[in-house]
Amino acid sequence: MVCRSLATLFLCVCANGYAAGGLQFKHELPNVEGKSFVAVVVEYPPGGKSPSHRHAPSAFIYAYVLSGAIRSQVDDGPKKVYREGESFHELPGAHHRVSENASQTAPARMLAIFVVNTNEQPLTIPDAN
């Protein structure tokens, strides 16, 4: 499978049911020099997932499930299913080991909000296979 990284996307966009993310907005924080607020919607097809990954080293992420159910595991914490209206967070340097649609029949959507160093790229770094 061939993946291509795009600066404006949260995740590597892949074939075969992988999650894809679209940038909603990026705004520099006027009262926190050098930091930006970035929002991305991640869309998971039924049974879809994203590869295990880390984020930009400075990134604090707040994730909110917009629809469906998303199974997640951050660092060595437990795998947990988050449903519509529920949220979780990732601290800088966290390892997002599992990020997948908990359903094989319904899509899921998640809003990921980053507070990150303004010029830090990429936002997401898939683990090497």
Domain ranges for the chain: 20-126
User: What long-range pairs does 85-89 form, CB within 8 A, spacing at least 24?
Assistant: 87/62, 87/63, 88/63, 89/60, 89/61, 89/62, 89/63
Q: Does position 5 have pLDDT exceeding 60, yes or no? A: no
Residue type, 23: L
How far is the C-alpha of 128 from the C-alpha of 115, rounded, in Å? 25
**pLDDT tens digit string along 63-98?**
999 999 999 999 999 999 999 999 999 999 999 999
Question: Does the model's pTM come out above 0.85?
Answer: no
How far is the C-alpha of 38 from the C-alpha of 118, rounded, in Å? 9
- DSSP secondary structure string, 5-36? --TT-SS-B-SSSB-EEEEEEEEE-TTSTTEE
**pLDDT tens digit string along 7-64?**
333 344 333 455 566 888 899 999 999 999 999 999 999 999 989 999 999 999 999 9
Please provide the CATH number assigned to the domain covering 20-126.
2.60.120.10
